[in-house]
């Protein structure tokens, strides 16, 4: 089942987003056993991501070769589990976190790829508010061991489709404003329930769990 799901989604997104950009599928592997993740990787999944740093630490040694991502709320004392092993930390939501990622990356002699997480209006979610994105990018550009590759965001849980489309278009406009300045690659928006909408409106990376692995119980 997992292998079939991976192949189906990869086929579905093979034509790229509405702008013709290739789409990166990241399997969201929260609470999934290593065996299930490796089945997905064997079926062609090249990127997987965790929400909890301890899960990342515990599973990483046993996974087949893959680009490993992190997109959960990240406490500064857990950054150490990711540096040098994580291809892309997607959930960078504060200047303090940028500083800690840079400090530990410098110690390990690596440059850590990150995305700046943006908050699209839900107070309970993390992320920089849109008006602070420029300041966050300028600050990050002064850090030698951090490379910002774009933005990550989550659509609100409630709202009309027209509202979501407006959010996505505004987000893509912001992404395009900085893309060439900072060398962006990824606009990561979209999960199992909404990725079909997000890739029609500018997203080029999606984080899919349930549609690959089934519901978690």
The tokens for 46 are 């090249």
Tell me: pLDDT of 122 over 70: no
**CATH number, position 162:** 3.20.20.10
Q: What average pLDDT does the segment 205-209 reach?
A: 97
Give me the domain span that covers residue 95: 2-213
**Residue 125: per-residue pLDDT:** 72
pTM: 0.96
**Structural domains in the chain (count):** 1
Q: Torsion angle, CA of 177/183/189/190, rounded to 10 degrees?
A: 130
Q: What DSSP state is assigned to residue 84?
A: T
């Amino acid at each position: 089942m997992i292998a079939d799901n991976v192949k189906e989604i990869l086929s579905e997104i093979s034509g790229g987003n509405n702008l013709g950009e290739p789409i990166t599928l990241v399997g969201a592997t929260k609470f999934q056993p290593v065996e299930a993740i490796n089945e997905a990787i064997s079926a062609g999944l090249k990127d997987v991501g965790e929400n909890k740093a301890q899960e990342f630490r515990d599973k990483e040694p046993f996974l087949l070769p893959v680009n490993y991502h992190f997109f959960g709320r990240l406490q500064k004392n857990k950054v150490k589990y990711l540096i040098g092993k994580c291809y892309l930390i997607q959930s960078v939501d504060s200047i303090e976190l940028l500083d800690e990622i840079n400090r530990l990356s410098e110690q390990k002699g690596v440059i850590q790829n990150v995305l700046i997480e943006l908050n699209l209006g839900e107070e309970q979610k993390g992320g920089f508010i849109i008006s602070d994105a420029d300041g966050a990018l300028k600050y990050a550009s002064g850090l030698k061991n951090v490379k910002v590759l774009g933005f990550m965001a989550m659509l609100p849980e409630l709202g009309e489709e027209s509202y979501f489309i407006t959010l996505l278009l505004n987000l893509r406009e912001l992404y395009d404003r900085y893309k060439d300045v900072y060398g962006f690659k990824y606009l990561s928006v979209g999960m199992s329930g909404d990725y079909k909408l997000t890739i029609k409106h500018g997203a080029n990376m999606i984080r899919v769990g349930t549609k690959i692995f089934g519901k978690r119980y």
